[in-house]
Structure 1
Amino acid sequence: MRNIYIAIILAMGILSSCDQLLDIEPEFTQDAENFFNTPQDYERALVGAYDLMQTSYLSIWIGEIASDNAIAGGESVNDSRGLHEIDNMTHGGVNTELRDIMRFNYAGIARANYIFEHRDNLDFPGKDQIMAEASFLRAYYHFVLVSYFGDIPLVVDKRLSISEVTASVRTPKIQVYNQIETDLRNAINVLPWTNPETGRITKGAAQALLGKVLLYQNKYSEAAQVLDELISTNQAGYALFPDYATMFYLINENSSEDVFTIQYSGLQGGDYACFVCLQGNPAVGFHGIRLYNGPFYGDGNSYNLPTQNLYNAFDANDPRRDATLLDIDAFIAAQPNSGNISYAVGGGGHTGYYNNKYIKRLNERGLPDDDLTSPLNYRVIRFADVLLMAAESFQQSGNDERARVELNKVRARVGMPLITSSGNQLLQDIYRERRLELSGEGYRFFDLVRTGRAAESIEGFQAGKHELFPIPQVEIDLTGGNWQQNPGY
């Protein structure tokens, strides 16, 4: 919790990404007492609240590695040990990656709350949109935290004193979800469908996230209503990108399929000591092929390696298989100079497959350390996900016909046969389609948990325990034991 308090303090001064700190003028004069006096101050504070979303690499890793989709990989089992523990379902309260999830998302909440705390300082044109974007960001960070940890301390519209931080208790997740829904509905009422500044949150992004939040709570009828409005109104012109095979290439970013996307650039910002400072997407370089020397791809660190189980889940003629998984040996064998191509296998495990959606390609590298500076954006919610969430919500609400319509839009895009099933079989078909369409993007573990299929799908998963991740032990200690650990840990 001390880290949460530190994050709140940082929100008073660090209002942009780490590498921009030296640009603050005049030096040493901006603090909580003389900020929020101009519209530019609110804009800068909002940039700071957006900044923590760039830690999304953790969600890509954990959402796949905790499931049956991928193994941790890496140089050795001691390379990001926390990911290997999650892979093996042996993780506990001492885990660097899980602690980062808590720290980074609470830092994002603190920065959003700092804006709300000073919302009445000044009136100016466009302020309502700034507050709406801040509402969305606060909802997003809370949603990540409640998805990982369940009950969490709910902090709204204020910074906390040290005594308040140490005395805080975990709020029941139903109350956290209520706040998330409130924030998202407030954002939807204000935000425009489009924004000339790429990456800013829009009405469609807020509706899509609200639909997801409702679906995660099994509020199927409400989710269906929200997602139906998004699909039917669709003033942003969302549509499925026609070529799945190239959709995740840099040149096809910010397409009609991108509903909620976290933006990255090829600039450095930080280094291995400060991933939260990075402007590039580190997941891409870390997913790369270890010591690779050959065409098309760049070398990397062989993290988050897809499993044979995932490969086998695809039909052989489904184009999404090869777009999602790089079969490295098959790729090399198909090259005209295959004898000159080489790569290495890491001691952290090897499956023969790599995450082909978020992987380093030679013509998409950032500078100067291209393991850390990929400009590939993270597509948090694609329109295909919206359609599949709608299909699930409609089916669970008793509308199989509409569920098939949305499901088959996704299948038709890749030329796969249309689904004609109904009832429970249709629901299982929707679940399967989510895996085929969205693998490699960080959804799988949470889909398995929320639908009650995790214990049968994930080796080592213990029902009643692994649905949630453990609260970091250091945070429990810093509250003097006010927080109880999640069951089983």
Structure 2
Amino acid sequence: MKKILLTLLITGTFVISSCKKSLLDQDNPNTLTQEQFWKTEDDAQKGVNAIYHMFYQPGSWSRWIYFRLDLTSDEGFSKSPWIELADWTRFQYVNYNFFEGNQVSYRDTYKAIFRCNQVLTYVPEITFADQNKKARMLGEAKFLRGLYYYYAALLWENFPIVTTIQSPTDMPQQSSLAQVWAQVEKDLSEAADVLPAQWNGNDIGRPTKGAAFALLGKTYMQQRKWAQAKTAFDYLVTGAGAGFYDLVDYKDNFRAENENNKESVFEIQFSDANKTAEGDGPSSNMGNNRAQFFAPRSIGWSDGQARNWLVDEFKKEKTLDGKIDQRLRYSLFYPGLEADFGDKTYGRSWQWDADEAWFRKYSRDYMRTNEDYFSQVNNRIIRFADILLMYAEANNELGQTSAAYQYVNRVRQRVNLAPLATAYPAIGNDQALFRERLKMERALELCGESVRWADLKRWGDLDTQAAVAKVAQRDPDFNNFVPGKHIRLPLPQIEVENNKNLKQNPNY
């Protein structure tokens, strides 16, 4: 699936009209109508493939979502000269319709959901020789719809649920966060029932049963449904899917080589095959723009960078052989990188301010001296190390702290760190102390991987002024954070004004 060009994009231009056609209302002979499409298995496959193409749109995983998830968290920030863009990483939301900060991501999320709804509406009516094949396609659409609603819940929370084909005049009802989570649970549970344990050949990269259970577990975690989360994660850690997943060489999680490996639970398949603009055409850009926007100055646009406290945390604990944690080497660019590991930044010595750090994950410094808009490096949005640490968290929250240690130790052992109980004996079976240490274990393992915003919300670290003040010690942008307001983005104001059934999110 990695390098296959998508051959048809269902862009939502099918129109049903009850009016008699006039001379000025004729079908485009170069465009399939709704009546002509959705007839064959091949049509169904093209419809499913069109959903995946949404990963390459700027409001989705090719560009702007990283600003919402990584830079808004305490791991990152922006000093972009584009003031409004930087303001949207530091909770200074003035124009709720700011395109790059809000509107395009909202639009592309709904566009992806629309494509999922097309498949789930029309494919059941298509005759298949193999009913299992049809079920798998529908499972893919449900997984992808669940994924988009998962991130909508993280970002906007009260995101209107649409599960049927909509017309331009429809006005979806307001949905609560609880309702959005319930929809995600439903989609992912149904997807897990029918998706295969593994895919082969060109289908590698499509969601598996393990991916569905993993995202379902993460959904339960965000609601603090610890027992349900543990049950979902069981499949990957101790259950029928455990043999499919393991940890690999740490750096292989962020490079173009060794993609779709045993640590990958679900990753977005990027390609540099089309060095063109983004869009819906069959030759549009399928690359990742993240590195271009997050690279150090003179290498990329440098609109996003990492907080320096991460470097300090990596250096607090040495490995069993007295060395610096290797994860620092592959996670961040920072002034001491060359002295600590012998690595230059994109082939040059450090040329930036002494207190600066930048995200190294998903960069191509090992193969290039600059970045562009066409990175072929897949984004592993769910990997097994994340699941192990969440499994430990669920066990701890269920009062099974002693059982949780082993899953953290698997992650630490990979980089030659001492077992957790040896390194931090004061934790013992204290649930609160274990929780606090796990927060840092997740930061060191997963920094810059778009999970920290969800973590902060789940831990309640953004719920009170006192909790936010602690976060602000690491990231002064949180001095702007207002509890009860900035826990979610505002809905684009244009959506509220155009839909009488929507109300703006609380406190905006």
TM-score bucket (shorter structure): 0.7 to 0.9
Residues in 2 aligned to 1:334 and 1:440: alpha-carbon distance in whole angstroms: 20
Tell me the residue number matched to 1:462: 482
The answer to whether 1:474 aligns with 2:494 is yes
Tell me the residue number matched to 1:199: 205
Residues in 1 aligned to 2:136 and 2:252: alpha-carbon distance in whole angstroms: 34
Residues in 1 aligned to 2:436 and 2:334: alpha-carbon distance in whole angstroms: 27
How far 1:120 moved relative to its partner? Answer: 3.1
Tell me the residue number matched to 2:112: 108
Cα deviation digits, residues 241-289 of structure 1 (max 9, x gap)? 1x22454222132111000101100133643799995300000222223
**Residues 183 and 468 (structure 1 numbering): CA distance in 2 closer, same or farther, change over 3 Å?**
same
- Candidates 426, 429, 433, aligned match of 2:437: 429
Kept after mapping to 1: 8 A contact 2:338/2:349 = no
SS at match of 1:11: coil
Cα deviation digits, residues 451-478 of structure 1 (max 9, x gap)? 1113131422211111111111111122
Tell me the residue number matched to 1:98: 102
Tell me the residue number matched to 1:177: 181
Paired letter, 2:506: P
Paired letter, 1:465: K
- Candidates 213, 222, 239, aligned match of 1:216: 222
Residues in 2 aligned to 1:27 and 1:362: alpha-carbon distance in whole angstroms: 48
Which sits farther off after the overlay, 38-47 or 398-407?
Answer: 398-407
TM alignment of 1:73-472, pairs within 5 A:
73-74=79-80, 76-78=81-83, 81-82=84-85, 84-92=86-94, 93-96=96-99, 97-124=101-128, 125=130, 126-156=133-163, 158-164=164-170, 167-196=171-200, 197-232=203-238, 233-234=240-241, 237-241=244-248, 243-268=249-274, 270-271=276-277, 277-291=284-298, 299-316=299-316, 317-328=324-335, 330-331=337-338, 341=348, 351-361=355-365, 363=367, 371-420=372-421, 421=427, 422=429, 423-454=431-462, 455=468, 456-458=470-472, 459=478, 460-472=480-492
SS at match of 1:381: strand
Tell me the residue number matched to 2:38: 36
Residues in 1 aligned to 2:342 and 2:439: alpha-carbon distance in whole angstroms: 36
Q: Which runs of 4+ in 1 moved over 6 A?
A: 272-276, 332-338
* Aligned sequence identity (%): 28
Any gaps of 5 or more consecutive residues in structure 2? 1-8, 16-27, 317-323, 422-426, 463-467, 473-477
Report the count of equivalent residues: 448
Which sits farther off after the overlay, 397-406 or 263-272?
Answer: 263-272
SS at match of 1:358: coil
Kept after mapping to 2: 8 A contact 1:284/1:371 = yes
SS at match of 1:380: strand
How far 1:424 moved relative to its partner? Answer: 0.9
SS at match of 1:119: helix
Cα deviation digits, residues 221-245 of structure 1 (max 9, x gap)? 110111122211225521011x224
Residues in 2 aligned to 1:220 and 1:374: alpha-carbon distance in whole angstroms: 37
Cα deviation digits, residues 298-353 of structure 1 (max 9, x gap)? x2222321111222222352222222111156438987999x947776xxx99521
**Residues 332 and 283 (structure 1 numbering): CA distance in 2 closer, same or farther, change over 3 Å?**
farther
Residues in 2 aligned to 1:248 and 1:337: alpha-carbon distance in whole angstroms: 18
| RMSD of aligned residue pairs (Cα, Å) | 2.9
* Structure (1/2) with the larger helix percentage: 1
The answer to whether 1:10 aligns with 2:42 is no
SS at match of 2:304: strand
Kept after mapping to 1: 8 A contact 2:210/2:265 = yes
Which sits farther off after the overlay, 310-319 or 140-149?
Answer: 310-319
Residues in 1 aligned to 2:186 and 2:343: alpha-carbon distance in whole angstroms: 57
Residues in 2 aligned to 1:183 and 1:269: alpha-carbon distance in whole angstroms: 34
Cα deviation digits, residues 128-176 of structure 1 (max 9, x gap)? 11001011011111111111111111111x2112332xx3221122122
Residues in 1 aligned to 2:262 and 2:117: alpha-carbon distance in whole angstroms: 32
Residues in 2 aligned to 1:332 and 1:179: alpha-carbon distance in whole angstroms: 50
Residues in 2 aligned to 1:105 and 1:236: alpha-carbon distance in whole angstroms: 33
RCO comparison, higher one (Cα < 8 Å, 6+) = 1
How far 1:450 moved relative to its partner? Answer: 1.9
**Residues 356 and 370 (structure 1 numbering): CA distance in 2 closer, same or farther, change over 3 Å?**
closer
How far 1:432 moved relative to its partner? Answer: 1.4
